[in-house]
Copies of this chain bind each other. A is one copy, B any other.
């Protein structure tokens, strides 16, 4: 194998696949990046037990030549050292591999040798059915992930809750996440030939958002028996699926509200953020909401050891009963409010111990539920 490549493009691709490479793996070969030189491209693969990232570098990018392949072939190179070296090389790099898997990397007057691994021992990629897929703009996928993935359970006691439930039904896609105290649900219409319900680890989706980053193109979603694959023109990310049945969430959505109020999203967020300063003494970051004078909301928290904080904000519109006091987990409320980009939100309250429904005004595609906490 022999090729000459632009050092910055090479480093960028190494950094991307490196996100899937773990240094703690018991299999030394998995701490490496598989590099495959084809006549028309260079492919880099990094993987761990949860995700596989495949990155493709073509011969030219935007008309500029970035790669020249002299001899096809493949090798696995220790990821940490490859990444550190390429980062510090000043100009384009010349990579050669001999029959003993010794990788020679030269850039100007600098010559480096790294001991590689035989690529035959590297695990094969999952196979995908190229004909069955859903298609969505990258920017929209990032938004959906950011609106839901934070709500998954951090505890491993119910593994299905650590993932996001991604369901395809005809042309509808929904993302749902819950840790059993709160729920985030986002729906949308898209072009798809997939049907079914899958659970994807939230960590995989978070890595996906970093990989997509500034990509303005489209992404295709494929499903295999044990993987979901996300593919753009420059990379593919394969994520393991979580096995098991996701709980039925439609029954959780409250039907009748005793009180609904409309508030300014950004103002409520800064108010809750401030109230959380004293809420951290409580196990559930207790923040109290109370309707006062039928037209204002008082946000407060207190700690017997440290002090207390309170502020009042105007309610933009109120319907139903005006007698309301409730305690919520402030950090949950902050998560939910940060996921909403609309200027105003509607909060709907049922009985004191029923979940609060949070909806952005003029956007029926996203809803959020938070269960109250006891304030004593």
Most buried by B among A78, A103, A112, A313: A112
Chain B residues within 8 Å of A110, by CB:
274, 309-311
Q: Can you tell how many copies of this chain the complex includes?
A: 2
Is A111 in the interface zone, CB < 8 Å from B? yes
Interface string of A110-146 (1 = CB under 8 A from B): 1111110000000000000000000000000000000
Judging by beta carbons under 8 Å apart, are B309 and A85 in contact?
Answer: yes
Q: Which residues of B contact A112 (CB under 8 A)?
A: 277, 307-310
**Residue of B with least CB distance to A299:** B110
Cβ of A206 under 8 Å from chain B: no
A109 at the interface (CB under 8 A from B): yes
- Report if A250 contacts B (CB, 8 A): no
What chain B residues lie within 8 Å of A111 (beta carbons)?
309-311
Q: B307 to A88, Cβ gap below 8 A?
A: no
Contact between B277 and A81, CB atoms less than 8 A apart: yes
Whether a CB of chain B sits under 8 angstroms from the CB of A306 is: yes
**Distance of A19 Cα from B253 Cα, bound (Å):** 48
- The answer on a CB contact under 8 Å between B88 and A313 is no
Q: Which of B81, B109, B306 contacts A81 (CB 8 A)?
A: B306
A88-B273, A273-B88 given; A109·B306 CB < 8 A: no
- Chain A, 286-307, CB within 8 A of any chain B CB: 305-307
* Residues 309-343 of chain A, each 1 if its beta carbon lies under 8 Å from chain B, else 0: 11111000000000000000000000000000000
Tell me if A245 is interfacial: C-beta within 8 Å of chain B: no
Q: How far is the CA of A90 from the CA of B271 in the complex (A)?
A: 10
Complex interface residues of chain A between 240 and 288 (CB less than 8 A to chain B): 270, 273-274, 277-278
- A residues contacting B by CB (< 8 A) are 78, 81, 84-85, 88-90, 102-103, 108-115, 270, 273-274, 277-278, 305-313
Given contacts A110-B274, A113-B307, A115-B306, 20 further A-B contacts (CB under 8 A): A81-B277, A81-B278, A81-B307, A84-B277, A85-B274, A85-B277, A85-B309, A88-B273, A88-B274, A89-B274, A103-B307, A109-B311, A109-B312, A111-B311, A112-B308, A112-B309, A113-B309, A114-B307, A115-B305, A115-B307
Shortest Cβ-Cβ A-B pairs, 9 listed: A114-B307, A110-B311, A112-B309, A113-B307, A88-B274, A109-B311, A113-B308, A84-B277, A109-B312
